[in-house]
């Protein structure tokens, strides 16, 4: 989802249903170019086929490629205080806590600044947490609070009626799976910032 949303090292990423912080954390790791698994060990490190110094050199090279100057920042919110605490703890464990801001907030209060931002979210839906009517009420609320403009919105949902509930058609739709659940990834492209005239 983050690839399709073009998350880069200067992205301001928002997730108003952040849960345990997965999208925020993965966005930070991607934007900062932090190598996957950099903080863990691998069984292959004990194999004779690869000398130990190779592992050390590759870890060092991976860390040298981290975008320490990145302007990336992720902002998450969730109505569940337990999710808020979990997201902060997970960001700390992943080493990206300084790039992730989380707060307890209802979707009805969601706002992004009038600048280029990207919203990538996996809202609760009938098959996972709520009944279908509750999920569709959330979709309608999202349609009201997700304003057109500089922000691009990327939303995964299994609801084939999502666009009707949200109140506008997506610029593009991709089929994705959330576990075994077939979903659509609804992409609403924001207006790109205009370059200053020469």
Instruction: Report angle CA 191, 147, 117 to the nearest 5 degrees.
Output: 50
Residue 126: which pLDDT band, with cuts at 50, 70 and 90? low
Residue 136: which pLDDT band, with cuts at 50, 70 and 90? very high
**Which structural domain range is residue 96 located in?**
12-32+70-188
Owner of token pair 């399709």: 4
Q: Residue 45 CA to chain centroid, in angstroms? A: 31
Same domain as 24, residue 52:
no
In a domain, 198, yes or no: no
Task: Give the pLDDT score at 115.
Answer: 75
The mean per-residue pLDDT over the stretch 85-110 comes to 96
Task: Give the pLDDT score at 131.
Answer: 81
Same domain as 147, residue 117:
yes
Same domain as 151, residue 92:
yes
Q: How many domains does the chain have?
A: 2
In a domain, 194, yes or no: no
Nearest C-alpha neighbor of 100 from the set 187, 24, 185: 24
Indicate the residue among 24, 48, 66 that finishes a domain. 66
Predicted confidence (pLDDT) per residue in 1-57, tens digit:
999 999 999 999 999 999 999 999 999 999 999 988 887 888 888 888 889 899 889
Say how far apart CA 125 and CA 103 lie, in whole Å.
Answer: 21
Give residues with Cβ within 8 angstroms of 157, minimum separation 6: 123, 125, 139, 183, 184, 186
CATH code: domain of residue 183: 3.40.50.150
Residue 56, both tokens = 């050390």
Task: Give the pLDDT score at 149.
Answer: 79
The answer to whether 119 touches 146, Cβ cutoff 8 Å, is yes
In a domain, 103, yes or no: yes
Same domain as 100, residue 42:
no
Look at residue 53 and give its three-state secondary structure: helix
Instruction: Report angle CA 67, 70, 74 to the nearest 5 degrees.
Output: 120
- The overall average pLDDT reported for the chain is 90
Same domain as 61, residue 140:
no
Same domain as 40, residue 95:
no
Give residues with Cβ within 8 angstroms of 44, minimum separation 6: 50
Task: Give the pLDDT score at 196.
Answer: 43
Same domain as 141, residue 51:
no
Say how far apart CA 82 and CA 190 lie, in whole Å.
Answer: 32
In a domain, 170, yes or no: yes
Say how far apart CA 73 and CA 9 lie, in whole Å.
Answer: 9
Same domain as 109, residue 96:
yes
Task: Give the pLDDT score at 195.
Answer: 44
Predicted confidence (pLDDT) per residue in 153-194, tens digit:
999 999 999 999 999 999 999 999 988 899 999 999 986 544
């Amino acid at each position: 989802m983050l690839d399709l949303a073009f998350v880069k090292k200067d992205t301001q990423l928002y997730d108003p249903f952040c849960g345990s912080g997965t999208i925020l954390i993965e966005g930070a790791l991607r934007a900062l170019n932090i190598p996957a698994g950099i903080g863990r060990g691998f069984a292959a490190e004990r194999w004779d086929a690869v000398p130990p110094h190779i592992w050390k050199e590759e870890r060092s090279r991976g860390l040298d490629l981290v975008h320490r100057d990145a302007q990336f920042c992720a902002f998450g919110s969730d109505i569940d205080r337990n999710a808020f605490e979990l997201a902060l703890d997970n960001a700390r464990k992943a080493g990206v806590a300084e790039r992730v801001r989380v707060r307890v907030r209802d979707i009805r209060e969601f706002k992004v600044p009038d600048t280029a931002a990207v919203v990538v979210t996996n809202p609760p839906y009938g098959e996972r947490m709520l009944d279908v009517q509750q999920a569709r009420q959330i979709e309608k609320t999202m349609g009201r609070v997700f304003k057109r403009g500089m922000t691009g919105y990327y939303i995964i949902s299994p609801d084939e009626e999502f666009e009707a509930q949200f109140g506008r058609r997506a610029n593009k739709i991709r089929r994705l799976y959330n576990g075994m659940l077939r979903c659509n990834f609804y992409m609403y492209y924001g207006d790109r910032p205009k370059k200053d005239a020469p």
